[in-house]
Amino acid sequence: MTDPSHLQSANRRLSLRLMVVVVAMFGFGYTILPLLYDAVCELTGLGGKPAVAAESRLSGREDTERLVTVQFLGTVNSSLPWEVRPTVTEMRVNPGRVYDATYFARNLSRKGTTGTATPNITPSKAAIYFTKTECFCFSVQQFDGGEGREMPLRFVVGAGLPPDVRTITLSYTFFNAEARS
């Protein structure tokens, strides 16, 4: 006959181990899901995430007969003491041609901060045709207290963009990278 106190102790240890496994699985899923979502969205253009490509992989086919308006927006999450704005609010572009634009950001605090930008494209069906080859959003941005600078963006709107899309809006939301990690 087994000792009931020994059985209770074994059950408690097993329950504790199972709870640790459940918490670890939840933590892993919580950590990996946003990364997978971002990867799928960037590759497919779903969720308004623009595609990313090396400039050498672009088709080079330019549609000189068509002009599309690209609007630029920038917002900052309240936990980041920055001001951010595009240096131009819109451009008229030929699909298939590579263009350069910049955003200006300034750290309004006295201490250094690190920020990261999340892009979004509207209308969402245009996201798969909007490709960035260089972007400040590819990495975190570190600013000293009071520092301001222009940040580059190089992009192309694909020549296959549906004809009913005449305006594309590229917006960036900047977040405190230290608070997100």
Q: Chain centroid to CA 28: how far?
A: 21
Rounded CA-CA distance 133/52 in Å is: 6
Of 23 and 164, the structure prediction assigns the larger pLDDT to: 164
User: H/E element holding 35?
Assistant: helix 4-44
Q: Check: CB of residue 62 under 8 Å from CB of residue 97.
A: yes
Render pLDDT for 4-39 as a digit per residue (tens, 0 to 9): 777 888 888 888 887 887 777 776 666 665 555 555
54-93 b/e with 16+ CB inside 10 Å = b? eeeebeeeebeeeebebebbbebeeebbbebebeeebbeb
Q: Check: CB of residue 69 under 8 Å from CB of residue 161.
A: no
User: H/E element holding 54?
Assistant: none
Per-domain boundaries in the chain: 1-44, 48-180
Render pLDDT for 104-159 as a digit per residue (tens, 0 to 9): 999 999 999 999 999 999 999 999 999 999 999 999 999 999 999 999 999 999 99
pLDDT of the residue at 60: 63
One CATH from 1.20.1740.10, 2.60.370.10, 3.10.20.30, 1.10.3720.10 for 48-180: 2.60.370.10
Band of pLDDT at residue 176, cut at 50, 70 and 90: very high
